[in-house]
Chain A
């Protein structure tokens, strides 16, 4: 599936939205802390307006392919779940099933899965996640994640 978008107009609107987000969260800070971001906000807003005007007047739509958008959404979901899991459960206990799950979802696009695939995915997830966790925590001395489980 393909869609046509006016990317100049949309990137200008994105810039304006970002400028507005920062402008309304300036808070009460003194001159020394505000003079630079205020200048940047003006530049950001001006560039965004120019892009919006160019997009509205002479913008040519660009064709974007949406093939595989479902996989991207699954990927984003996995990333969010990964972060939440690390925070509230534990790094290893979250990463092993999500690693194996993501690998299986991606492999399934090439064809049906056999029971052996599940075992291989789980074994590789254990080796990779456990291996990197051990290297980071024991060899490199990085303090492990604080969570109820490992």
Chain B
């Protein structure tokens, strides 16, 4: 307890609060730019942390991380463009709310849900880091494969029209994910004689291409009308009070989303991108009115934003206790820790408790800081989009997406892939093939392939190596969960069809 008080006092110093404020603000604007990820934001912050004390550097990175994940929600809500992969599910209901003239309400709900998620994640981290880390260690290749398969069942919910088309989209995402060097065999696949494809199709490239470019082409086709509806013109004003009521009126949804975010966050390699998708899916499944999801239901927005901000602190569990980065941005934080001579593990808490707990508490402060920074920043971004004439907004977004995509790997091939995927994405949207299942397939494909091939490798002595996938208890639990989820999704659909 004394350590916790000392840690709290250390991060409540005025200069620490200023670092948190600046970090959250910088993260928010980076997160709002499509293509600029949390990993990139933290990497860009690295040189600044060299001159700082260890705690100051970690506090700055934690604040930027929290701000970036939250910032992704703005463009997701206003122009249907997820700023970061964690905000994909935010587009599903956030953007329809904006189209209905409820943009500021959506931003307020996203802010409060993010704050709740961020604080809950920090409390989890303070109370239960070591036991949660031990649980995460039990996930081997076979379990990771089943986690990915369980994730693929989300398609049943993500597909807005035909489930069959949703599944086809997922399969398209999976096959696009196999382009490039094989993660286990190390051989080059599906490059179509074009060597740059050996690097594969980056998730961010696909995300920007499939979400942003079709939206821009729609704006070009519809002109001012598309922007007016996209930016939620006619919004009545600031809706902080009603947003608070909305978020806390469905406590089960909020708690469930936070728990889901926490569980997924502690599994190294599961990836922060799927937390909001899983939470959104469960919110829809557990809702009294699942048909209103995707049409501007605030429950979906709460699920997405609370879970993805829980993930920020949650992914620190394996990092701080085991030294395993749960998500790519955590690797940057690990680098700063090592640079300052800090070794992750239980000793981190016993020998440098003030520093470790101070870092965790500062993330809670960063979450709280989202309220003033987020609401003011959100209003600013909203006003900019609302007041900019559509014929300048479209080319401006195009410039940002081109630069953002190029900045990922300093590679023009990524820009070509982004534009190509976007044009194809626009064409197949007319056929009822949505972007979300394709992106989900791309996210889960790598996890599924690694788990599948590594498990088979371990079972080569068996007559049927694939049977190794069914061997251990945790895998069997995941299989039962997958079957239950499929049944749960299919049953109401059949019942609706009968009605």
Binding site for B on A (CB under 8 A): 5, 7-8, 10-12, 14-15, 18-19, 22, 25-27, 29-37, 39-41, 43-44, 47-48, 50-51, 54, 62, 64, 67-69, 71-72, 74-76, 79-80, 82-83, 86-87, 95, 98-99, 102-104, 106-107, 109-110, 121, 124-125, 128-129, 132-133, 136, 140-143, 145
CB–CB B171/A15 < 8 A:
yes
**B167 interface neighbour in A31, A47, A54, A103, Cβ under 8 Å:** A47
Bound-state Cα–Cα, A104 to B188, Å = 44
CB–CB B452/A11 < 8 A:
no
CB–CB B182/A128 < 8 A:
no
Q: B377-424: which residues lie under 8 A (CB-CB) from chain A?
A: 389-392, 394-396, 398-400, 402-403, 406-407, 410, 412, 415-416, 419, 422-423
CB–CB B391/A106 < 8 A:
yes
Bound-state Cα–Cα, A74 to B221, Å = 10
**B220 interface neighbour in A15, A74, A121, A145, Cβ under 8 Å:** A74
A45 CB to nearest B CB, Å: 9
Interface of A is mostly: helix
The answer to whether residues A30 and B428 also contact, given A25-B192, A79-B213 and a CB cut-off of 8 A, is no
The 6 A-B pairs with the shortest beta carbon distances in the complex, nearest first, are: A33-B185, A68-B221, A32-B185, A33-B182, A106-B391, A44-B171
Chain B residues with CB below 8 A from A136, complex form: 403, 407
Chain B residues with CB below 8 A from A30, complex form: 185, 187
Q: Mark B255-268, 1 if CB is under 8 A from A, else 0.
A: 00000000000000
Question: Among B172, B191, B223, B448, which residue has the most Cβ atoms of chain A within 10 A?
Answer: B172
Interface of B is mostly: helix
Decide yes or no whether B168 CB sits under 8 A from chain A: yes
Bound-state Cα–Cα, A103 to B388, Å = 12
Q: Mark B429-466, 1 if CB is under 8 A from A, else 0.
A: 01111000000000001001100110011000000000
Decide yes or no whether B352 CB sits under 8 A from chain A: no
Bound-state Cα–Cα, A7 to B189, Å = 31
**A51 interface neighbour in B165, B189, B221, Cβ under 8 Å:** B165
**A36 interface neighbour in B402, B419, B452, Cβ under 8 Å:** B452
Bound-state Cα–Cα, A105 to B341, Å = 58
Chain B residues with CB below 8 A from A129, complex form: 399
* Other A-B pairs beyond A22-B175, A32-B453, 10, CB < 8 Å: A37-B189, A47-B167, A48-B168, A54-B164, A64-B430, A71-B220, A86-B415, A98-B395, A103-B392, A109-B223
The answer to whether residues A79 and B221 also contact, given A11-B432, A103-B391, A145-B406 and a CB cut-off of 8 A, is no
Bound-state Cα–Cα, A83 to B405, Å = 12
B190 CB to nearest A CB, Å: 6
CB–CB A47/B400 < 8 A:
no
Decide yes or no whether B178 CB sits under 8 A from chain A: yes
CB–CB B403/A132 < 8 A:
yes
Chain B residues with CB below 8 A from A10, complex form: 431
Decide yes or no whether B132 CB sits under 8 A from chain A: no
Chain A residues with CB below 8 A from B220, complex form: 68, 71-72, 74-75, 106
Decide yes or no whether B184 CB sits under 8 A from chain A: yes
CB–CB A15/B432 < 8 A:
no
| 7 contacting pairs across A/B (C-beta < 8 A) | A11-B165, A33-B185, A51-B168, A79-B423, A102-B398, A106-B391, A136-B403
B166 CB to nearest A CB, Å: 10
Bound-state Cα–Cα, A106 to B178, Å = 38
Decide yes or no whether B426 CB sits under 8 A from chain A: yes
Chain A residues with CB below 8 A from B182, complex form: 29, 32-33
The answer to whether residues A82 and B168 also contact, given A68-B222, A124-B392 and a CB cut-off of 8 A, is no
Chain A residues with CB below 8 A from B453, complex form: 32, 35-36
Binding site for A on B (CB under 8 A): 44, 162, 164-165, 167-168, 171-172, 174-175, 178, 182, 184-192, 213, 216-217, 220-224, 389-392, 394-396, 398-400, 402-403, 406-407, 410, 412, 415-416, 419, 422-423, 426, 428, 430-433, 445, 448-449, 452-453, 456-457
**B172 interface neighbour in A26, A34, A44, A142, Cβ under 8 Å:** A44
Bound-state Cα–Cα, A66 to B313, Å = 47
Question: Among B389, B402, B410, which residue has the most Cβ atoms of chain A within 10 A?
Answer: B402
The answer to whether residues A35 and B456 also contact, given A29-B182, A140-B44 and a CB cut-off of 8 A, is yes
CB–CB B402/A80 < 8 A:
no
The answer to whether residues A75 and B216 also contact, given A86-B412, A128-B399, A142-B407 and a CB cut-off of 8 A, is yes
CB–CB B412/A107 < 8 A:
no
Bound-state Cα–Cα, A74 to B223, Å = 13
CB–CB A44/B175 < 8 A:
yes
Cβ-closest chain A residue relative to B410: A143
Chain A residues with CB below 8 A from B172, complex form: 15, 18, 44
Bound-state Cα–Cα, A29 to B164, Å = 31
Chain A residues with CB below 8 A from B390, complex form: 106
Bound-state Cα–Cα, A121 to B395, Å = 11
Question: Among B162, B392, B428, B449, which residue has the most Cβ atoms of chain A within 10 A?
Answer: B392
CB–CB A76/B175 < 8 A:
no
Bound-state Cα–Cα, A97 to B234, Å = 33
The answer to whether residues A47 and B186 also contact, given A76-B423, A106-B391, A129-B399 and a CB cut-off of 8 A, is no
A90 CB to nearest B CB, Å: 12
CB–CB B395/A40 < 8 A:
no
CB–CB A99/B223 < 8 A:
no
Bound-state Cα–Cα, A39 to B407, Å = 34
CB–CB B178/A40 < 8 A:
yes
Bound-state Cα–Cα, A19 to B233, Å = 43
Bound-state Cα–Cα, A44 to B426, Å = 20
CB–CB A107/B391 < 8 A:
yes
Bound-state Cα–Cα, A19 to B410, Å = 31
Chain B residues with CB below 8 A from A5, complex form: 430-431
Cβ-closest chain A residue relative to B30: A140
Chain B residues with CB below 8 A from A72, complex form: 217, 220-221, 426
